[in-house]
Structures are given as C-alpha cells and as structure tokens.
Amino acid sequence: AQTVTQSQPEMSVQEAETVTLSCTYDTSESDYYLFWYKQPPSRQMILVIRQEAYKQQNATENRFSVNFQKAAKSFSLKISDSQLGDAAMYFCAYVLGGGADGLTFGKGTHLIIQP
Amino acid sequence: NAGVTQTPKFRILKIGQSMTLQCTQDMNHNYMYWYRQDPGMGLKLIYYSVGAGITDKGEVPNGYNVSRSTTEDFPLRLELAAPSQTSVYFCASSRIRGAVGNTIYFGEGSWLTVV
C-alpha cells in the first residue's frame, strides 16, 4: 500500500517570506501523480499544484512550486511571497496513474502566516 | 456550474440511527469517491465507484454502504451509527481514472456528529 508522510504538523512564516512544506511517499509504482491541496477553515479542498511522475520538470503555479525528487520519493511545496490568505492546512496526496482508487493523503501541515 | 454537491452539510445522529449522505455531480464524471476526514488527519477513502453499477471498497469501508445506480449520484449509507463515525465526509469525482491529466473535484463536505 502507498503511504504519504508529512513530517511537519505545523509551520510558521512571516508574511512575504518563503516557506517549504515537506512530503515523502512510498510506492513501488512508476506511474503516479502527486498533488498539494489547500484546506482553509471552511474545509473546502482546493487543488494547489499537480505533478506527473513521468515529468522531470518541477511544476509551478504562480507563487507555488514543487521540488520533485523521484528517486528520493520526495515532493516538497515551496510558497514564495507568503500571503495571509495562504494560511490553511496543506495536504500532500498521491494517486496511482493506472488505477481507479482514489487519492492517498498525508496527515497535513498547518501553515501559519505571521503579519 | 454546480460541480459536486453534497447534502446535508451538517447532521447530528444518535447512536444506532441510520442515514444517507447524498452526493451528485453534473460533470458526467465516471469516477466518484467518498472520503472521511477525522480531526487532525488527512482524508481516508471509504468507497469509490468507476461507473454506474460498479463500486469498490477503499481503506475504511466498515460501517458504510454505497450504491451507484446513475452516473450522477453516489449516496453513502451509514447503518447503525457509532461515535467513531463522527467525521467530515467528502464526496469527489473525476473524469477518468486516477488523475491522468485531470482534476479530482471535491464537494464542500458534510459534518456528521454521532452522539
């Protein structure tokens, strides 16, 4: 079974600074996808960024970028120029590319933005 | 543009009662999922469906049942509610299996308390 580990229960960053959230995963598969989801207090699940395992290039979405290290099974999220609206729970998730079963989530990292 | 709609948003159940969480999507997605999120945890897969008439168990199926009679609807049935089923429940859907080039869409969540 696949597992996703987020080793940082909570992170704090000053507004406008950069923060990196860590995620490692365990799988024996080669075809899979990785995601970061943001969950504000409303509990809505918001897709932040997606990475296909077959792509070597790291995904980027505006202020959000990932550092995908396939051999190390590491998938960290970097948030640049942190804003107050970035405060939320962040979940790393994995899904098998060829399978129909759903996402496997980590336990989440609570991100605090200090003004 | 409704996306994934869940009802009810909030419900309090007594131990031993039964209820159905409704989920409907208007995107003609084949794949639908039910997750639960316990406090301080990531989401865990309860059941999923790859199309009308086809369902399968996820990581935590005990105490739940599902059916998929149409493409649009994927209700989750709780029989004999127990306090351990107090959680936030999310329904999700995707166009094709896993997340190959596409996004998994989440509903807004249903908060269930069993007392």
pLDDT (0 to 100) of residue A37: 94
Q: Rounded CA gap, A48 and A17, in Å?
A: 18
pLDDT in tens, B76-111: 999 999 999 999 999 999 886 555 555 788 999 999
Averaged pLDDT, B22-31 = 93
The partner residue sitting opposite B98, judged by closest CB among A47, A99, A106, is: A99
Averaged pLDDT, B53-58 = 94
> Which chain A residues are closer than 8 Å to B56 by Cβ?
100-101
What is the residue type of B6? Q
Is A98 an interface residue toward B (CB < 8 Å)? yes
Q: Do B99 and A33 touch (CB under 8 A)?
A: yes
Residue A99 pLDDT > 60 = no
How buried is A30 (Cβ within 10 angstroms: 0-12 exposed, 13-18 middle, 19+ buried)?
A: exposed
> Which chain A residues are closer than 8 Å to B61 by Cβ?
none
Residue A97 pLDDT > 90 = no
DSSP structural state of residue A28: S
Which of B6, B32, B43 should we substitute to test contact with A (largest number of A Cβ atoms within 10 Å)? B43
- Any idea of the CA torsion for B96, B99, B101, B105, to the nearest 10 degrees? 80
